[in-house]
Amino acid sequence: MTTFKIYGRGADRVDRTRRVLGRACFLSGMDVVDFIFRSPEPNGYNIAYVKADKTVTSRSPEQCDYLLLMDEKVSARAFDGLKDGSVVIAKEKVQVKSVRAKSHAVGSSDGMSVLGGLTKLFSRVSIKSMKSAIEEELGDDKALQAAFEAGYREVK
C-alpha cells in the first residue's frame, strides 16, 4: 500500500490536490481511499491522506511513503508519520531529521507543480492519468496543466 500525505495551509488547495491525486490513482487502476483533516484555525495547517493499492483495506491514517508540502513555511509537525525511506516533494529541498527521507524540489508550492514532481517519481500513476484527473476535477485550465508539467520537469 502506498500512502501519500498532503500538508499545507489553505484547505481548498490541500483538498484540490487530494482530489486530483485520488482520481489519478483510480484512473491508473488502483483502489483509493482519501480523506482530509481541516484545521479549525483560519490559517492553520490542513492534512490530507490518499491511500492507493490494488485493494485498500484500512481507512485510517498510516505512516506515509510520500509527503507533499503545499506551503513555503514548513512546520515540524509536517514530518510526523513519515516512514524511513520516504520521499518529500516541496518547493525547495528540505531536511528531515526524524527519519531517512529523500527530498525533491519542484520550484513552487502549488499543488499541481507538486503533483507533477510526484508523477515523475511514482511510476504507478501515469502522466496521462494525472492530466485526465486534473481536467476531470478542476476543468480545462491550461495554467494548471502548465504548472503540472513544470513540476514534472523540475524533478531530477
Q: What is the mean pLDDT of residues 43-56?
A: 92
pTM for this entry: 0.93
Query: How high is the pLDDT of residue 114?
Result: 96
Task: Decide if pLDDT at 42 tops 80.
Answer: no
What is 86-136 written as a DSSP string?
EEEEESS----SSS-EEEEE-S---HHHHHHHHHHH-TTS-HHHHHHHHHH
Q: Which residue ranges make up each domain of the chain?
A: 2-154
Categorize the per-residue pLDDT at 58 as very low, low, confident or very high, splitting at 50, 70 and 90.
confident
Q: What is the pLDDT of residue 143?
A: 93
> 39 versus 139: which is more confidently predicted?
139
119-141: average pLDDT: 95
Burial (Cβ within 10 Å: 0-12, 13-18, ≥19) of residue 144: buried
pLDDT at 61: 81
- As a CATH number, domain 2-154 is 3.40.920.10
pLDDT for 76 equals: 82
Average pLDDT, whole number, for the chain? 93
Beta-ladder partners of 47: 7, 37
